[in-house]
């Protein structure tokens, strides 16, 4: 198959692309009238300025990331067979890692599907097509997904900041089967309830799974405070690990209702409580009440999703640590998390340690956790290693 050709600008260094970089930015590409006229999602052959092929890419002239690498073989044909090969390769890794079909099946560029996320919930899967090419091929992606995995229900979650950057509309569509309510998800000895149609992202965050498990080891028979709890991630895992009680704090009433449903389904309802409200305000209230917990975890949304928000985001992370530290009982544990792309581990760690100090506590750093193996990293793309969870023991 012959695809349209696009080229890097003169003097643009092609070595990064040859060595695995998956993106081409708008200021690196010749954007003449012909290139600008390409429909978002068009598949093209990328060449360097000397007309040597670099691979097959998908192009969106409306995006800052104007080209995303699909295949480094310039002879590749992007069709159903190509999709099936990549889907089955992604599936093989997850089937080796997990005994049950609950995981992130496709993690965007790291699995060779630029801008595409697929989370699997048993016989149901949620696709987030966050790049224009996947929007144009969504039906074929869904068909390939069903053939490879055997899932019978597929949801397209067309929401989120990434789609806006691609110029794509927001929409939620059930592509296959029917969805009648929250989906129960077994994980770390607990049952979580995923709202795949109305919840955050795909309905559940699989990335924290190993960090939930590590945290559960820190609070046997202890009291747990799970701040920014969403559907009860750390709290329910801690209860499964033997914690005496867990208090989940979140600003979303629907998320807390799902957390309560998960506690009920897990058999933990008598040890699980919720408090709705602004997390910062609730932590201040708990401190005023003299509340103390053997394990406190704060897993907020991304305070620094992009570089312009970095400094404000780091101040927010420092504030989280300052308010959380006094709530930890002597000798207890604190876990602070960041899913911000723009805040690297060193900057986040510095903000966290500063906040703990300002909260009047001294700490040992005992563990740093990242996303689970169903969220593989592409070494050439720092953004694929976004999650950081730092565990401390406080004096």
Q: pLDDT tens digits for 146-194?
A: 999 999 999 999 998 889 889 999 999 999 999 999 999 999 999 999 9
Average model confidence (pLDDT) across the chain: 96
Query: In terms of pTM, does the model score above 0.85?
Result: yes
The model's pLDDT over 334-370, given as tens digits with 9 standing for 90+, comes to 999 999 989 999 999 999 999 999 999 999 999 999 9
Outline where DSSP puts E strands in the chain.
Answer: 5-7, 23-25, 42-47, 53-59, 65-71, 102-107, 116-121, 124-129, 153-158, 171-176, 183-187, 190-194, 223-227, 245-250, 272-276, 293-298, 328-338, 363-369, 388-394
d(C-alpha 346, C-alpha 135), whole Å: 36
Side-chain half-sphere exposure of 303, counting CA atoms within 13 A: 24
d(C-alpha 202, C-alpha 198), whole Å: 9
pLDDT at 66: 97
* Catalytic residue list: 339
**What is the mean predicted confidence (pLDDT) over 204-225?**
96
pLDDT at 182: 96
pLDDT at 384: 80
Domains delineated in the chain: 5-71 (2.30.130.10), 80-176 (3.30.750.80), 189-394 (3.40.50.150)
Measured from the Cβ of residue 3, the count of other Cβ atoms closer than 10 Å reads 17
pLDDT at 199: 82
Percentage above 90 pLDDT, the chain: 93
């Amino acid at each position: 198959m012959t695809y349209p050709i696009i080229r890097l600008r003169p003097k643009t260094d092609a070595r990064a692309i040859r060595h695995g970089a998956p993106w081409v930015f708008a200021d690196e590409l010749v954007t003449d009238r012909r290139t600008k006229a390409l429909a978002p999602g068009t598949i093209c052959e990328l060449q360097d300025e000397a007309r040597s092929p670099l691979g097959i890419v998908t192009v969106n002239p409306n995006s800052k990331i104007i080209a995303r690498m699909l295949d480094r073989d310039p002879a590749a044909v992007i069709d159903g067979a190509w999709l099936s090969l990549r889907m089955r390769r992604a599936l093989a890794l997850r089937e080796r890692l997990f005994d049950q079909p609950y995981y992130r099946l496709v993690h965007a560029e790291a699995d060779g599907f630029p801008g595409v996320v697929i989370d699997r919930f048993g016989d149901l899967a949620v696709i987030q097509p966050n790049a224009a090419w996947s929007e144009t091929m969504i039906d074929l992606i869904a068909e390939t997904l069903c053939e490879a995995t055997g899932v019978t229900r597929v949801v397209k979650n067309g929401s989120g900041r990434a789609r806006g950057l691609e110029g794509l509309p927001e929409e939620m569509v059930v592509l296959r089967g029917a969805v009648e309510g929250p989906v129960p998800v077994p994980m770390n000895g607990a049952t979580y309830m995923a709202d795949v149609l109305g919840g955050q992202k795909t309905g559940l965050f699989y990335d924290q799974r190993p960090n939930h498990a590590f945290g559960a080891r820190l609070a046997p028979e202890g009291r747990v405070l799970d701040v920014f709890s969403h559907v009860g991630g750390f709290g329910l895992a801690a209860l499964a690990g033997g914690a005496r009680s867990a208090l989940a704090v979140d600003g979303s009433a629907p998320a807390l209702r799902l957390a309560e449903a998960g506690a009920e389904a897990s058999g933990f309802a008598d040890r699980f409580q919720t408090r709705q409200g602004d997390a910062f305000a609730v932590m201040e209230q708990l401190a005023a009440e003299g509340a103390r917990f053997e394990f406190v975890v704060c897993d907020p949304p991304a305070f620094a999703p992009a570089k312009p928000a970095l400094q404000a985001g780091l101040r927010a992370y420092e504030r989280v640590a300052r308010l959380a530290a006094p709530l930890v009982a002597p000798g207890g544990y604190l876990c602070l998390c960041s899913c911000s792309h723009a805040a690297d581990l060193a900057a986040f760690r510095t903000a966290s340690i500063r906040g703990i100090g300002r909260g009047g506590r001294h700490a040992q750093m005992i563990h740093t956790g990242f996303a689970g193996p169903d969220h593989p990293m592409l070494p050439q793309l720092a953004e694929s290693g976004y999650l950081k969870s730092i565990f401390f023991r406080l004096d």
